[in-house]
Amino acid sequence: MNKKIKQYAKISKKTLHNYLISNCNGLSNKEINKLEYIWFSKYNMIKYIEHNFKDNVDINMIKNFFDNIVFTYIKDEENTFRYSMVDKLLNLKITDDIQKEWEDPCIIGWLYQYYNSEAKENVIKAKKKYTKEEIPFATQLFTPDWIIRYMVQNSLGRYWVESHPEHNQLKKGWEFYLENPNSDPDFKEKLAPYINKELKVEDIKCFDPACGSGHILVYMFDVLYQIYKRCGYMKREIPRLIIENNLYGLDIDNRAYQLACFAVVMKGMKYNNRFLRSIAKEEIRINIAPIQETNNLDDMDIEYIAGESSGENYNKVKAFIEQFRDAKIYGSLTNVEEFDKKFFEKRCDYISNNFIKKTIVEEGLRHKRIAGLLKDLLKQTNIMMNTYDILVTNPPYLKSKYMNSTLF
């Protein structure tokens, strides 16, 4: 536990809370508490960017990055001051006694853990079965760096050098890499069927099914960068290739997802300080998603998505929607079935392009919500149904006595 980071998290949380109370007249305590987290995250993300890339970004880049990549899952009631807060936060100065840690994008994940520490303690002290909303607080655990290095070096690292022994030099920088101790003379022969000598780095799919704030994904990024560089790729192209082709993640916590997106993009900035500028010009595909559920969709919503009240398409949509009931509890354990991808993508495009034409405001807003959710469901389904080469995770730990009736 880093005491300096914990102390800073406590101070900045209190400072921002007091600032909101003083400057947001008319908001309830509930609304202020919701905004407090957004301000806490954005303030410290801006602080990280200024500490590391002050000369390479401007305020418009930061706003674009926040609004289109990091904070896409802010609920409507949390949107107050969304577009003006970056300007306000730039003028706030909260002192800290942290230096070296600001060089690591994972500091935002550490701060998030400490931000939630009080809520986590309250949930655990209650000694009762956890509700859906309490599970993220109770199960979040920030994995020590050496454990992540050990897991990634001996999975992703091993997978590559066994396929490309000409790159064995990479192992010199992997302090936790373990050589295979098997002395069987036939071992290499037995291993041969599982080694792909034609393996291309762009084809490696790495997955963390409980990615949290992206700590494991960030170190995977480092190892992948070493491999790309060894293969002769242009340095400025590598960050986008890694994010779009290699890294995949899921989590039940929308907030943790936001931090994971921030962390992998900032890792890209480390290797190409014009990366944020590149993203502003050309949209990037990030294969990380917060798992969404369908508990609030009713038969009328299913009919709207299907375009019919009965028949093949209706049954198709109903089956697809039903598998994500309580997905915020099951997370990556959700069992997904094969589905008609082209049909759902077509319906998603149709709904997205037509809800704005509604004359009835309430109906238009409902259809807008459905369009957004359907898009999210398709993304998470594609990630869940992928086949992966490397899976590294630190799964959530929850004793059976604390599991609610849905889990146990």
Q: Residue ranges of the domains in the chain?
A: 3-139, 145-290, 299-385
- Using pLDDT thresholds of 50, 70 and 90, give the confidence band for residue 2: confident
- Mean pLDDT of the 143-171 span: 95
Q: Give the sign of the dihedral formed by CA 200, CA 213, CA 251, CA 372.
A: negative
Q: Using alpha carbons, select from 267, 277, 259, 395 the residue that is nearest to residue 333.
A: 395
Measuring CA to CA, how many Å separate 307 from each of 134, 349, 372, 381, 402? 36, 13, 17, 21, 41
Amino acid identity at 164: H
What is the model's pLDDT at position 74? Answer: 63
Measured in whole angstroms, how far is the alpha carbon of residue 219 from the centre of its chain? 14
What is the model's pLDDT at position 32? Answer: 80
- Using pLDDT thresholds of 50, 70 and 90, give the confidence band for residue 166: very high
- Using pLDDT thresholds of 50, 70 and 90, give the confidence band for residue 83: very low
> 289 in helix, strand or coil?
strand
- Using pLDDT thresholds of 50, 70 and 90, give the confidence band for residue 250: very high
Residue 280 reports pLDDT greater than 90: no
- Mean pLDDT of the 274-291 span: 93
Phi/psi of residue 55, nearest 5 degrees: -85, 0
Residue 79 reports pLDDT greater than 80: no
The predicted model scores a pTM of 0.90
Residue 209 reports pLDDT greater than 90: yes
Q: Who wins on pLDDT, 68 or 214?
A: 214
Taking the C-alpha atoms of residue 48 and residue 119, their distance in angstroms, rounded to an integer, is 25
Residue 84 reports pLDDT greater than 70: no
Q: Who wins on pLDDT, 29 or 221?
A: 221
Ranges 62-66, 88-92, 103-107, 280-284: which has the least confidence: 88-92
Amino acid identity at 209: P
Taking the C-alpha atoms of residue 16 and residue 37, their distance in angstroms, rounded to an integer, is 9
Residue 367 reports pLDDT greater than 90: no
Residue 359 reports pLDDT greater than 70: no
Highest mean pLDDT out of 10-24, 67-81, 195-209, 345-359: 195-209
24-45 pLDDT, tens per residue?
777 777 778 778 888 889 889 9
Cβ atoms within 10 A of the Cβ of 231, count? 14
- Average predicted confidence (pLDDT) for the chain: 87
> In terms of C-beta density within 10 A (0-12 exposed, 13-18 middle, 19 or more buried), how is residue 172 classed?
exposed
